[in-house]
Amino acid sequence: MARALAAHLEDSDPGDGTDALVRSGFGHEPWFECLVAETNDEKLVGFALACRRYEAHMGRRSLWMGDLYVSPNARRTGAARALLLALAERARVLGCTHITWELWRRNEVAKAFYAELGAQAEDEVAPMSLPVETLVTRLRGGLR
């Protein structure tokens, strides 16, 4: 399903990724939690992946939802709502006050889904990213 999500977002194919997924999610220090949606006959149709986040300046725990995906044949069946509800209930158990995520700007279906729930884009915050090796090189004096 990660490959299907990457294709949907026009990202590069992540490959099989099973080994990395198992190492990252099911080891001594799991980096994420993953919830899945299945049909009555136990076919996987979607997933929500999240990790913990703490914001010291706000004194709050939250979950960062890295991915929410439902296969095309299972869309508009309530699978995304069920996944998000299960994630919200997990956030409650963890004492989180918010769930945060990024939205691919061209994903009009997701925009409508989140807007219907009352979610709003944060005007004051912009996600930023750099590869770790680039950041290390630049901070050690190799600014270019």
Work out the pLDDT band at 62, boundaries 50, 70, 90: very high
Q: What is the pLDDT of residue 3?
A: 60
Q: Which one has a higher pLDDT value, 126 or 34?
A: 34
Task: Compute the CA torsion angle 96, 36, 4, 13 (nearest 10 deg).
Answer: 60
Element (H, E) at 29: none
Q: What is the pLDDT of residue 1?
A: 56
**What structural domains and CATH numbers belong to the chain?**
2-139 (3.40.630.30)
pLDDT tens digits along 6-56: 555 565 666 666 677 777 778 888 888 999 999 989 899 999 999 999 999
Q: Which one has a higher pLDDT value, 87 or 5?
A: 87
The Cα–Cα gap between 69 and 110 comes to: 10
Work out the pLDDT band at 66, boundaries 50, 70, 90: very high
Q: Which residue has the tokens 């709050």?
A: 60
pLDDT tens digits along 98-107: 999 999 888 8
The Cα–Cα gap between 119 and 131 comes to: 29
Q: How far is CA 66 from CA 2, 48, 129, 137, in A?
A: 11, 8, 14, 27
The Cα–Cα gap between 58 and 42 comes to: 41
Whole-model pTM over 0.85 = no
β-strand pairing of 98-101 with 60-70: parallel
